[in-house]
Structure 1
Amino acid sequence: MLESSLASFSADKNQVELRIVPSTHGPVSEDDIKQLLTQKDFAMLCPMLANIEKACKEVNALCNQDAGKHELFFIIGERRDGKAEVTVSADKMVASMKITAAWGGKEISLTDVLNCLKSNKIKMGLSKPKIQALLSQLNFLPPGESSQNDIAQGKAPIHGTNARIERKVSLARERLLQPQEREDGTVDMRNLGAMIMVKPKDLLMEKKPATTGTPGYTVHGDVILQKPGQDKPMNPGDGTELDPKDPYRLIANVAGQPVETKTGMQVDDVLQIKDVDVRYGNVDFKGSILISGDVHEGMVVKASGDITVMGFVDSATLHAAGDVIVSKGIIGRQIKANELSTKITAEGQICAQFVQYSELTAKGNVLVTKQLLHSNTRSDLVITVSDQTARRGDLIGGQATAGHGIHAVIIGAKVGTKTELFCAMDQSELKNDLKAIDESVKSMVTAALEIEGRLNRLPPKNEWQNDAGMIEQVKMMLDQKNLIIEERFKEETEYASLQAEVENYYDKYFIKAAKQIFNNVDIRIGPAFNRTQREHGPCTVKNVNQEVAFNYTGR
């Protein structure tokens, strides 16, 4: 054990000095030297471990040599003030502080903490209770020990919600799904209830406007912009107006049949006809058409609104700017290899109980409640062949092409009738749109940087602040820059939405069979292809890694 007198304070009392003669006091161990620092006067000071290790080596190397007769000098301990350190998370949303207790020096105070926060530019989301709790730990921390806690939290932005439009009236197509109930509890598919009509001042639609959201901030006080909700237009069509007392309510201003449009509703005059045949002639009407009977072979019916047929359509042509609703069935026959005698086109939806040997083209959904047989059917959205209970609904033969999915109870037939399904074929187009938006955003970034560069190259403001022409030029540059930033933000929001659509495309859009898919059904989902070789039970069929994959329910 070394003599305690070998260690003493420096003149300023801030360090512990070791004065040792190797041949007299050596050899020594690091523990021998550390023991000197356990004396009462030095116990609160910080051991300088590297110096202690060096002293031990030098003393032991010289203790049996002539040079070891001379005194060596080392600093083995020192006072250290308490310390506060700040760490900020990578996303700048959390700031954490670590305080270290002093080694015989000045302890950390609230002022020190505030200065540390200031030097690290921590401005927002500070928690006074957490800071005080952290400082209170100094009452218990041994010298040199540390305590750490989060003391500032940023605020994430609250993104706005998109506008929503709620339709407040039923449409003609919904009558097909709501047959009248008889007294015995059964339903009468031939009685679909009264024609849906509205009168002036009736509420048609109500809009829940988009919200702007609120911005967030980082612990440094940098603003994190929120994404405002996207607006959805609700425009008055013919026979409608915005409520003078509430612009978010769309009301009727005439009596008639309500028809949904892409951006709102219209109220149509209704032309009522018993049958469309050679005696009545073809029909081209500005408004909606209600045919209480049938549309016969060779006839053409066009409407700027909905076409509702209470009976059958047989080898005829129907075109509606709204929906086509056929209460009973659509019947056709094959004229040539790729030509069918009945053609139905709708800007909205097509609904019927059963369809055979017909061409159906809809920008909206196609709904067939019983059977879709040997027809060529195309929908930008979803083709559904099912009743409300999902017990009946056969899609057999022909081609069915849908942008957003094909849902049926049974697909194909036991005898192996060839049936072709095309689903979710537009992802490549969406990718092209995504690429175009990305290029547009990059061009805006370049344009904004060019304007920023021009602004930075301006002479000092005091040289042009009285030049009206120069002031106008600078103002134009700033306005242009702000316009670019605003437009860029809109396109970046659109890019994020479209990117999510592309990434989730095949999860959202798929083929579903509630009961069975038979053999000889060609399935194309995007570029993936499969021809069924056997019967499949209830399943969903998706494109998984560019292959057709069957996912069976109940397994």
Structure 2
Amino acid sequence: MADVKAKKDRKKPVVRVSYNEMEAFMMLPVLEGEEEPYTLDEINTALERAGVKSGIKTDLLEQIVIDQSCGYEHLIAEGTEAVDGIDGYFEYNFNTDLNRRPTIRPDGSVDYWSIHLVEIVEEGQVLAIYHEPVQGSNGMSVKGKLRKAKRGRPLPPLKGKGFDKSEDGLVYTSQIDGKIDMKNGRINIVPVYEVYGNADLSTGNIDFNGDVIVHGNVTTGISIKAQGSITVDGVVEASRIEANKDIVLRGGVLGKKRGVVSAKGCIYAKFFEYANVEACGFIEADSFLDCNVFCEDEVKLNGKKGSIIGGKTEAIKGITANVLGNESYKKTSIQVGIGVELLKRVNNAENELLEVQSLVDKLTEGIRQFDELGKEKNVDVKKDERRVALVRAKIAKTADLNICKEKVEYVHKLLEKAKGADIKITKKVFPGSKVMIDSLVVIVKDEQNGVNFVINEENNLVMYPI
């Protein structure tokens, strides 16, 4: 009886469970005197009391009983961590991140070859490989609690045109040689007009519903129009270049006072000389020489020269350059904010809207009078040729009215963009330069080093040193 009592009074095995319940440790208190050795039943009872029921190392427990290892902890149970699944993903075999801005070299020059607007693929080229999701496996804590794994989620198939998909839906290949675009998981491959040499009399004028790439020069008199972008590796002479998107002219422009470069997007060029330039987006170049430039955004002359010499440069949002004018005091004019050109466009758009609205109102009134006359005479006038002509005219003019409203909305957005416009000339402003912000004008009479032209609180155009 005394032995049973002694066994009952002695210290019991101590079980400690980690805070995340993924490990359980056991320590057997040191036996004193003639105390009986610990048994496997005692250890299992201690584990049950602590709630440990999973990941138990039974071989280790048996060895502990054999060795009677007392006085220090043993890791006697380990949980199983959940292994998260892997979502399905596409491995793309083309450049999905195009570089749309030129790189500035360490010496300050601009690398226009770094601009990459068009990614070309070939017929049969593997465009993408789909890797299916990998399902995870659930885990378990030492207390038997389920640890749920994150499920690997599939991706929807790629949508678009110009490519084929394998029967298993895993491999996508190009149907044609062309330009590839990817946006919001949608791939489109469209033909590209590529000239491997000069665009000259042998190629003739180009008018293409897509992107145009010229790997040589564009010679005098040639016209290139594109609904997409235009990229020219060589020099553009006295030609007409028009794009519905961006234009990249790696070799610059020698316009001979007849060259025209116009883009609905942005324009990047090594230089412009004696050219007419217009862009809805921003314009980046190394220099302007005797050019007429109109930009609905911002003009940045950010190369080694970074100069504007001669001509007129107008940018609604702002102008940044290194040098304005030259040592010969050549007349050079720059304008930002709300200039004459923008005001003219606003007035034209609003006047056109009023005229078309007036016509729609007159046509509406004419139709109403026909209907009133029909009621008075109790005659159905809906098929009357004169009324039908009025209705058709109203439908056409209503379409014109919507276009006019869009134009007015657009020019008013330009007015908003013009607010706070400024001019930064980081190195030198030469005398003879004419600087305009909105309707305010400053003629620079003395050479200036690094100035910022702004309109101050008193509504004066002033220069601040940079």
TM-score, normalised with respect to structure 2: 0.48
Q: Which has the higher contact order (CA 8 A, sep 6+)?
A: 2
